[in-house]
Structure 1
Amino acid sequence: MKYLSGYLTSSFIRKRIKKIEFFIKNPIEIQYKLINQLIDYAKNTEFGKKYKFNDIKKYQQFSERIPLCKYNDIKQTIKRIRKGEKNVLWPGKIKWFAKSSGTTNTKSKYIPISSFSMYKCHYKAGMDMLSIYIHNHPKTKIFFGKALRLGGSHKLYKNYNTFYGDLSSILIKNLPFWAEYISIPKKKIALISEWEKKLETLVQETAYQDVRILLGVCSWLLIFLNKLLDFFKKKKINEIWPNIEVIFHGGVNFQPYIKQYNNIFSSKIYYYDVYSASEGFFAVQDQKNKEDLLLLLNHGIFYEFIPMEDFDNTSPKVIPIEKVELNKNYAIVVSTNAGLWRYIVGDTIRFTNLSPYRIYISGRTNHYINSFGEELIIENAEKALKKTCIKTDSIIHEYTAGPIYINKKNSGAHEWIIEFKKHPKNLKYFRDILDKELKYLNSDYETKRHKNMILLPPVIKVARNGLFYDWLKKYKKLGGQNKVPRLSNNRKYLDSILKIK
């Protein structure tokens, strides 16, 4: 029965590859057909009537008529929808809201998840993720075992019969039959709200299962896997799960963690990156040995892009997908099948390929350091740290960085708080290599570092073991999709972390 079910599930998923190939071949046509469908579907909503969706026939009309928006622009509207109002941004009533928790900021965002976006975006993209993997590994037997998902929790919003929580918890709660069959742990365990209790229960419930797939945010998965090794007093995960084959991860950059993962697996394991956010499932890694991601163009999301050099303008330039260029930084703008219209997500990407459209996540529109004109983005930081760790034989567990402001006596600098898994033998050498790599990757940083006139060398503060974990715990951000903010243009995160002893 187990093998029959495995073959049936595999066959069901494999069929998706033809539809993926279709949108790869017809990207522009599919995107414009999609925006017309979204407009038509929402034409009788409050938003659709306000902006006269009935009259919109072409993309140019849509782009001229509908304003760009950020979360604060629609916060009050979403509050009404959370209280049960229907037909506001999207037809019908929306029951689920993904609570955005990317940082320790107490001002949470509640992103609507319609039944359309749940099934025609998130689950559909999940099938495509698996279909791509099977296509790349035709001899795989992942469906003859279990997929372990590491998710968050959700709660009822007052008495309005709407719910909010981590995106992962919403998707686990509503899993389609094919996904529920292969997934562990049981929903009641997966949705435990208290992270440390969940972790203990999860270890005991999954330890003796035939796990072949792992899904989750790589930083939290790593904590779980180390807990599992401690439970069994083993050094390698393969000693516990001999058939483990692939990890699908997203949420944070995998590069700072890859060495730690490789250290706990004794045989070949595949790592596949995904770009899944509360607003939608945007992209998946579609090639075995390349890290860029295939943009999903037929999953209920219409894409536009703002060149980052234009982002802070009052009326920034916005372009559709056929006008993007290679290796330029863009802010993503989406219109979705959950009622987000020309919504600025907050992520920045660059295109690595235009046929098909593949992207690399380069950072956040608000996660950077530009206090001195250096324009340091996350992509620079991650690449520089990776090379620095290789050259100093060190491993970083977590980090964050921000500015030290210029004063009357000193130039400015960047302060880095780093929690090492393996410490460098010489911290000054580590600092010098990091500084050198940042100069190589970022000409603006290099200019500001010239003769220490504006920027002094980086200041490295070594964090004690568990400091970032304790910080997240203090702000009730353990588990789920929560993550440490990597770069900040102010000292908010630095100062709050440094206060924890």
Structure 2
Amino acid sequence: MKKRIHDIDLFRKYPHDVQQELFQNLLHTAKGTEWGKKYGYGDTLSVREFQERVPISTYEDLFPYIERGLKGEQNILWPTKIDWYAKSSGTTNARSKYIPVSPESLEDCHYKGGKDMLSIYVNNYPDTKLFTGKGLSIGGSHRPSEYNAKVSCGDVSAVIMQNLPIWAEAMRTPPLKVALMDKWDEKIEKMVELTVNENVTSMSGVPTWTYLLFKRILEVTGKKDITEVWPNLELFTHGAVAFGPYRQLFKEIIPTDKMHYMEVYNASEGFFGIQDQRDTEDEMLLMLDYGVYYEFIPMDQFEAEQPTTLTLDQVEVGKNYALVISTNAGLWRYKIGDTIRFTSIDPYRIKISGRTKHFINAFGEEVIVENAEEAITRASQQTGAIITNFTAAPVFMESGKRGGHEWLIEFEKAPDNLARFTQVLDETLREINSDYDAKRQQDIALQEPIVHATQPGTFTNWLRHKGKLGGQNKVPRLSNSREYLEEIMQVNGLS
């Protein structure tokens, strides 16, 4: 672990050299693939030549190649044999995405990220007792592909768990056959049964699903909080959704100062970031030697037919960029769908600011997920509220009526005054987003937000209805249409 900290320090110090070497290795490795031959990877391309020759790709652009891989063809996008695909649909797409997981991406990206996470944690907390117990993780499930029985597809967490080395499997709980069960309700009951008597010292997962497990454990055991079940629990590594709105929720259910929280940026496409400093919230070191070459699209270029992309040495602190990656699994100049903001360039640290498809801009207000989460967090703090989930959508203008935003919020603990909560939510959005503030001036374009406090289980019911309980699935925070909000209301009898 100490040796790896030295390696991390090296890419902190020489980020551009590390990325340039990685870039050349990727192209050299893939030069004999169908894609590599098509774009002349054997010509020892410069980054500029690479950007000129190779188009920026969406999933739809790459799918014809990926589909052939799913049917058993090899050496199309990447030379080594690919038998695993991470099935990713987030929460919103009816059609699943199949992301190739090569042996290199599994070992040099996903597993390397997991090991680095432990190395950084131990370096920050040298007195840790993490390894005296087990790590609990809530995974998804996998099954043979509908295209080809020899190819397996599943949630990225399931792909990782299924391929763990023996030493890592011995350090985790529950057993693999339970962790990979596909029926969420049955999985939770079995996990409770098998883990309450274990010495759990760490956990990893999506905050929403982890919290549901905690609640069920307390219901079954009759304990007051999680410290009475797992007194040695000290670490929760979390990702997929911002932790800010959940921080108070976890502090109440794990009321101990020895509990630490660590943000990671781990997606189906790769492992990209790890919180490397103590006592920082949601700020992560961009991991530069995981077989991922990074480019960044400034958001004012995002809708352009041929957007300008920046390399790492061209980015600026405080600006939002759409992330573009080329990887050791054959994703070439791929728009992952996330937006990030650099908080530092020495070293390169980032925050996830949202999704390229998750925003509200019905009236030119340009509200992004990061804005919404900050406003929700501040409103909760000032009114004593604790939230479990939320989503928001526009209210479109009608004859004689102004537009606005409508929020569905599920509270674990209701605010002491919902009107005050709404006011703080609105005031915070106005403070941090000048476009929103301009549209709210004198209620000319936007009226005050409409906030509905929903019943417990509202969002779980919707995800169950969509067949998306557990794993990496999550509720879309924002949408520029009313589709999801109205569907959630309909499923729960709210409309």
Same fold per superposition (TM over 0.5): yes
**What are the superposed Cα offsets for residues 97-134 of structure 1, whole Å, 9 maximum, x if unpaired?**
11113114211111000000000000011111100000
Q: Matches of 2:366 and 2:153 in 1, distance apart?
A: 35
Q: Matches of 1:146 and 1:327 in 2, distance apart?
A: 39
Aligned to 1:328: 319
Aligned to 1:450: 441
8 A Cα contact 2:379 2:421, kept in partner:
yes
The partner residue of 2:458 within 464, 467, 492 is 467
Opposite residue 360 of structure 1, the aligned amino acid is: K
Alignment of 1:289-368 (within 5 A): 289-291=279-281, 292-368=283-359
Indicate the SS of the match to 1:399: strand
Alignment of 1:74-473 (within 5 A): 74-158=62-146, 159-268=148-257, 269-291=259-281, 292-473=283-464
Q: Which has the higher mean CA deviation after the structures are superposed, 127-136 or 232-241? A: 232-241
Q: Matches of 2:133 and 2:152 in 1, distance apart?
A: 32
Aligned to 1:7: none
The partner residue of 2:472 within 459, 481, 487 is 481
8 A Cα contact 1:104 1:472, kept in partner:
no
Alignment of 1:51-90 (within 5 A): 51-90=39-78
Opposite residue 164 of structure 1, the aligned amino acid is: C
**What are the superposed Cα offsets for residues 44-91 of structure 1, whole Å, 9 maximum, x if unpaired?**
000000001111331111111110001011112111100110100000
Tell me the CA shift for residue 424 of structure 1.
Answer: 1.7
Tell me the CA shift for residue 385 of structure 1.
Answer: 1.0
Indicate the SS of the match to 1:448: helix
8 A Cα contact 1:84 1:93, kept in partner:
no
Tell me the CA shift for residue 426 of structure 1.
Answer: 2.3
Indicate the SS of the match to 1:125: helix
Opposite residue 148 of structure 1, the aligned amino acid is: L
Indicate the SS of the match to 1:38: helix
Q: Matches of 1:406 and 1:178 in 2, distance apart?
A: 59
Aligned to 1:21: 9
**What are the superposed Cα offsets for residues 313-345 of structure 1, whole Å, 9 maximum, x if unpaired?**
112110100000000000000000000000001
Opposite residue 442 of structure 2, the aligned amino acid is: K
Opposite residue 351 of structure 1, the aligned amino acid is: F
Tell me the CA shift for residue 490 of structure 1.
Answer: 0.5
Q: Which blocks of at least 5 consecutive residues in structure 2 are unaligned?
A: none
TM-score (norm 2): 0.97
Q: Which blocks of at least 5 consecutive residues in structure 1 are unaligned?
A: 1-12
8 A Cα contact 2:80 2:103, kept in partner:
no
Tell me the CA shift for residue 451 of structure 1.
Answer: 1.2
Q: Matches of 2:273 and 2:171 in 1, distance apart?
A: 23
Tell me the CA shift for residue 172 of structure 1.
Answer: 0.3
8 A Cα contact 1:331 1:348, kept in partner:
yes
Q: Matches of 2:487 and 2:255 in 1, distance apart?
A: 38
Q: Matches of 1:376 and 1:267 in 2, distance apart?
A: 35
TM-score (norm 1): 0.96
8 A Cα contact 2:239 2:266, kept in partner:
yes
**What are the superposed Cα offsets for residues 236-266 of structure 1, whole Å, 9 maximum, x if unpaired?**
1111111111001101111111111101113
8 A Cα contact 2:89 2:95, kept in partner:
no
Q: Does 1:493 align with 2:484?
A: yes
Q: Matches of 2:90 and 2:164 in 1, distance apart?
A: 23
Q: Matches of 2:478 and 2:92 in 1, distance apart?
A: 13
Q: Matches of 1:177 and 1:127 in 2, distance apart?
A: 14
Q: Which has the higher mean CA deviation after the structures are superposed, 250-259 or 97-106? A: 97-106
Tell me the CA shift for residue 370 of structure 1.
Answer: 0.3
Indicate the SS of the match to 2:278: coil
Q: Which has the higher mean CA deviation after the structures are superposed, 65-74 or 101-110? A: 101-110
**What are the superposed Cα offsets for residues 147-188 of structure 1, whole Å, 9 maximum, x if unpaired?**
111100001014440011100000000002332121111111
Q: Following superposition, which runs of at least 4 residues in structure 1 exceed 3 angstroms of deviation?
A: none
Indicate the SS of the match to 1:499: helix
8 A Cα contact 1:101 1:481, kept in partner:
no
